[in-house]
């Protein structure tokens, strides 16, 4: 009667899946509580669900005027329990205005991608253009290739000014 009433529920461990996931052996009793001698096996399959990636780190960075900084996992991190880091993709949606976003020293463009492995390997960097600006930013969305892309996120960059050497603009000498 519990089965017919829908009272029998099996809940797998969160995040686990498998085919078969587990099996349950049981015996059946009739209305007079006489159990059959035949053992029955119920096989339970649990299909894996695709979890969306989570942006677990986006701290921004601080760079000196005209300098370059490597953007590694301490600045930018995606996590997804069911997807390897090599499949966690960032998509460039806005370029920095006062510098360059580089992957292996090559400038990235809007629409190009890089992975969490690229970030973890120190292949992503930002190079400030050297002007007197105090901040910059670039934007990205992310996906695991199975889930829809996230909304756009900003990566903020604070620029520390450098005391530039004075330059001589013009000299009008009177002799």
* C-alpha pair distances (Å), 81 with each of 44, 49, 88: 22, 11, 11
Grouping H, G, I as helix, E, B as strand and the rest as coil, residue 46 is strand
Structure pTM? 0.72
Two structure tokens written together for 74: 């301490």
pLDDT tens for 29-60 read 877 888 877 888 888 888 877 889 999 999 99
The tens digit of pLDDT for each residue in 139-152 reads 999 999 988 888 99
CA 87 to chain centre: 9
Token duo for residue 111? 């629409």
């Amino acid at each position: 009667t519990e089965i017919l009433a829908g009272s029998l529920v099996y809940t797998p461990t969160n995040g686990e899946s498998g085919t078969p996931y587990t099996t349950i052996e049981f015996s059946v009793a009739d209305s007079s509580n006489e159990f059959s001698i035949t053992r029955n096996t119920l096989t339970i399959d649990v299909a894996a669900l695709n979890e969306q990636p989570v942006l677990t780190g986006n701290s921004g960075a601080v760079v000196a005027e005209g300098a370059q900084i490597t953007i590694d996992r301490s600045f930018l991190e995606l996590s997804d329990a069911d997807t390897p880091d090599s499949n966690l993709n960032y998509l460039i949606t806005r370029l920095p205005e006062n510098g360059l976003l580089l992957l292996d020293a090559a400038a990235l463009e809007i629409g190009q991608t890089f992975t969490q492995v690229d970030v973890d390997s120190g292949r992503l960097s930002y190079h400030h253009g050297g002007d007197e600006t105090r901040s910059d930013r670039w934007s990205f969305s992310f996906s695991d290739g199975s889930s829809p892309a996230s909304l756009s996120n900003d990566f903020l960059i604070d620029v520390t000014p450098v005391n530039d050497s004075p330059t001589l603009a013009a000299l009008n000498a009177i002799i």
